[in-house]
Chains A and B, each alone.
Chain A
Amino acid sequence: MGQTITEKIFSEHAGKTVYAGEIVRVSIDMTIGNDITTPISIKAFEQSRAKELANPDAFAIVMDHYIPAKDIASANQAKISREFAYKHDLKYFFDEKDMGIEHALLPEKGLVIPGDVIIGADSHTCTHGALGAFATGMGSTDISFSIITGGNWFKVPESIRVSLLGKPGKHIYGKDVILELIRILGVDGALYKAIEFVGDGVEYLDMSDRFSMCNMAIEAGAKSGIFAVDATSKAYLDERAQANGGLRSNPKLHYSDSDANYCREITIDMASLSPVIAYPFLPSNGKSVEQAVADDIKIDQVMIGSCTNGRIEDLRIAAEFVKGKRVARHTRMIVTPATQQIFLQAQKEGLMEILIGAGAVVSNPTCGACLGGYMGILGDGERCVATTNRNFVGRMGARTSEIYLANSAIAAASAIAGKIVDPR
């Protein structure tokens, strides 16, 4: 019987042929923690009798949520991770000196390799499937188990095959495709499943699109999202190898067999897709931008950033829409590049001048605003268009605030108009 790419990755790690539904114990190629989830992992590590990590070079701690520290409690919490990283001499410890949101930073550093099994104490770890890896979010204790033993257990997931057809129209991005898919599936429609993206339309999606699509697989309840490696991802990996003096290890390319088994098939015609906006309070609440324009939705804040859409491509799109214009008087615009490299690149391309000139505030890389931590909290009744991933009640601040999830073009164009507009 044929296998899916996900079954093949698990088979290679398990050293035997496995299929969906089987429980496997496999080695983990990269385990990820951040400043708010790692302290709980460290506590569990210290409660165990472990003296050292099974594989210190397979554990990355990325300080991205409340760093630089937003208050005394965050500073004290950060110390726990910092001290652990120094004590165990971790090679992949990223703090203020090398800042970035984990799911943008690790691929950029050449640390995410096709064929890897990756787990992270952050639900958006599924982002890394865009490079042909199996990647999933877990809790802090599971992360601890992984760094103590070097492995963890999984139920090999069934896969949903999503066929993407046609070339997306102007200002239709990966964000629109994934919001459409979550609208179809619902927030639990892919519970325990892997979402595999295939089809002749894949070639029109750049890495930025693919990262944001895999990133939001969790918003349909999925265990993972995955794209097999193709010319686009190969070119990205080559560029990352060049920038970092090589990749962390050699890619292992896997492709689904034509007779592999899928639990569900979904087709999305990207050529006929309209930009999608997820209304409060669930990511599955997708409406067309035409609907949003008709609803005349005034906005107080625009947020462009996060592990979903804080890449250089997003900043370029934002700059295109605000160039020579001014953010509406009753609206504010926050731009958070996902990594320092993206920040520098934007500077080099003159995007900073355009964004700041239009009245946007550009922050350091952080998850802050997306999860209602800091750097862009919403007040009572305020409305925000965000390129982020969740529009739950209170997610970005006050429990009466509202979040509309959208692509970067809609977000930037709406900042100028002061209400949700169609960027096309």
Chain B
Amino acid sequence: MEGKAWKFGDHIDTDLIIAARYLNTSEPEELAKHIMEDADPDFVSKMQVGDIIVAGENFGCGSSREHAPIALKVAGISAIIAPTFARIFYRNSFNMGLPIFELPEASEIAEGDSVRIDMDSGEIINQTDGKRYKFTPIPAFMQELVDAGGLIAYAQQEISEAKDE
């Protein structure tokens, strides 16, 4: 993953990520047109596919709406980096395959910096200033879910195992 950084502050709630006025549909493409609208009304027109959001503490707090990570992913945001994530958003992102990374030093990255995420080395590299950071590894149990292809794939595995018995 590699993209340009867009900076947001602390406590970005899911109403800012996708406002409830658009939740009369769950069509991903429709939702994707309105991401971050109340935080920055021009965001959708400014961002490019592959860009990365770099935010402050507690990203994704508030409503449990899974529409939030879905909309970000479908809009083309390739990853989110923040020191901490709200609990439900963290879990939702894994469940629907939006890559998110906990990085205590996230505030050192500036808007417009070119950021690369190296999954093999567990590093986030700021290509603009050359700094390298280790991101917080995900919990082992969640890695199992990721390896299975996500939560629903994990459930499918269980269903077919049960049938084989």
The yes or no verdict on A and B being binding partners is yes
Q: How far is the CA of A237 from the CA of B96 in the complex (A)?
A: 38
A144 closest partner in B (C-beta): B152
A43 closest partner in B (C-beta): B26
In the complex the two chains form, is A40's CB within 8 Å of B24's CB? Answer: no
CB distance from B153 to the nearest CB of A (A): 8
List A contacts of B67 (CB < 8 A): 36, 40
List A contacts of B74 (CB < 8 A): none
In the complex the two chains form, is A40's CB within 8 Å of B16's CB? Answer: no
B28 closest partner in A (C-beta): A40
B23 closest partner in A (C-beta): A36
Number of interface residues of B (CB under 8 A): 44
Q: Does A371 belong to the interface (CB within 8 Å)?
A: yes
CB distance from B78 to the nearest CB of A (A): 20
Q: How far is the CA of A36 from the CA of B20 in the complex (A)?
A: 9
Q: Does B19 belong to the interface (CB within 8 Å)?
A: yes
List A contacts of B66 (CB < 8 A): 37, 40, 121, 139-141
CB distance from B47 to the nearest CB of A (A): 18
In the complex the two chains form, is B151's CB within 8 Å of A142's CB? Answer: yes
List A contacts of B151 (CB < 8 A): 141-142, 144-145
In the complex the two chains form, is A122's CB within 8 Å of B64's CB? Answer: yes
Q: Does B42 belong to the interface (CB within 8 Å)?
A: no
In the complex the two chains form, is B84's CB within 8 Å of A188's CB? Answer: yes
CB distance from A187 to the nearest CB of B (A): 6
| Per-position binary interface string of chain A over residues 178-191, scored 1 when its CB falls under 8 Å from any chain B CB and 0 otherwise | 00000000011001
Within residues 31 to 90 of chain B, which ones have a CB less than 8 A from any CB in chain A?
38-39, 41, 57-58, 61-67, 69-70, 84, 86-88
In the complex the two chains form, is B84's CB within 8 Å of A191's CB? Answer: yes
In the complex the two chains form, is A282's CB within 8 Å of B11's CB? Answer: yes
List B contacts of A74 (CB < 8 A): 24
Q: Does A246 belong to the interface (CB within 8 Å)?
A: no
Q: Does A56 belong to the interface (CB within 8 Å)?
A: no
In the complex the two chains form, is A393's CB within 8 Å of B39's CB? Answer: yes
In the complex the two chains form, is A139's CB within 8 Å of B88's CB? Answer: yes
Question: Which range holds the interface residue count of chain A?
Answer: 35 or more
List B contacts of A271 (CB < 8 A): none
List B contacts of A49 (CB < 8 A): 156, 159-160
Known A49-B156, A142-B151, A191-B87; contact A371-B63, beta-carbon cutoff 8 A: yes
Q: Which of B21, B39, B86 contacts A372 (CB 8 A)?
A: B21
Known A40-B66, A137-B88; contact A188-B38, beta-carbon cutoff 8 A: no
Which of A65-73, A161-169, A339-347 lines the interface with chain B?
A: A65-73
In the complex the two chains form, is A141's CB within 8 Å of B96's CB? Answer: yes
In the complex the two chains form, is B25's CB within 8 Å of A187's CB? Answer: no
List B contacts of A48 (CB < 8 A): 152, 155-156, 159
In the complex the two chains form, is A142's CB within 8 Å of B21's CB? Answer: no
| Per-position binary interface string of chain B over residues 129-163, scored 1 when its CB falls under 8 Å from any chain A CB and 0 otherwise | 00000000001010000000011101110111000
Q: Which of B11, B141, B150 contacts A23 (CB 8 A)?
A: B141
In the complex the two chains form, is B91's CB within 8 Å of A372's CB? Answer: no
CB distance from A23 to the nearest CB of B (A): 5
Within residues 41 to 91 of chain A, which ones have a CB less than 8 A from any CB in chain B?
43-44, 47-50, 65-66, 70-71, 73-74, 76-77
List A contacts of B15 (CB < 8 A): 371-372, 390, 392-395
List B contacts of A121 (CB < 8 A): 64, 66
| 26 A-B pairs in the complex with CB atoms less than 8 angstroms apart | A37-B64, A40-B66, A43-B26, A48-B159, A65-B20, A66-B24, A77-B24, A137-B88, A139-B64, A139-B66, A139-B96, A141-B66, A141-B96, A142-B91, A149-B155, A188-B58, A188-B86, A218-B62, A371-B63, A372-B19, A373-B20, A373-B21, A393-B15, A393-B38, A393-B39, A394-B15
Which A-B residue pairs are the 4 nearest by beta carbons? A139-B92, A394-B38, A139-B66, A141-B95
Give residues in B with beta carbon < 8 Å to A.
Answer: 11, 13, 15-16, 19-21, 23-26, 38-39, 41, 57-58, 61-67, 69-70, 84, 86-88, 91-92, 95-96, 139, 141, 150-152, 154-156, 158-160
Give residues in A with beta carbon < 8 Å to B.
Answer: 23, 36-37, 39-40, 43-44, 47-50, 65-66, 70-71, 73-74, 76-77, 121-123, 125, 137-142, 144-145, 148-149, 153, 155, 187-188, 191-192, 218, 221, 223, 282, 371-373, 377, 390, 392-395, 399
Q: Given A23-B141, A188-B58, 11 other A-B contacts at CB below 8 A?
A: A44-B152, A50-B155, A121-B66, A123-B62, A144-B151, A144-B155, A218-B62, A372-B19, A390-B63, A392-B13, A399-B41
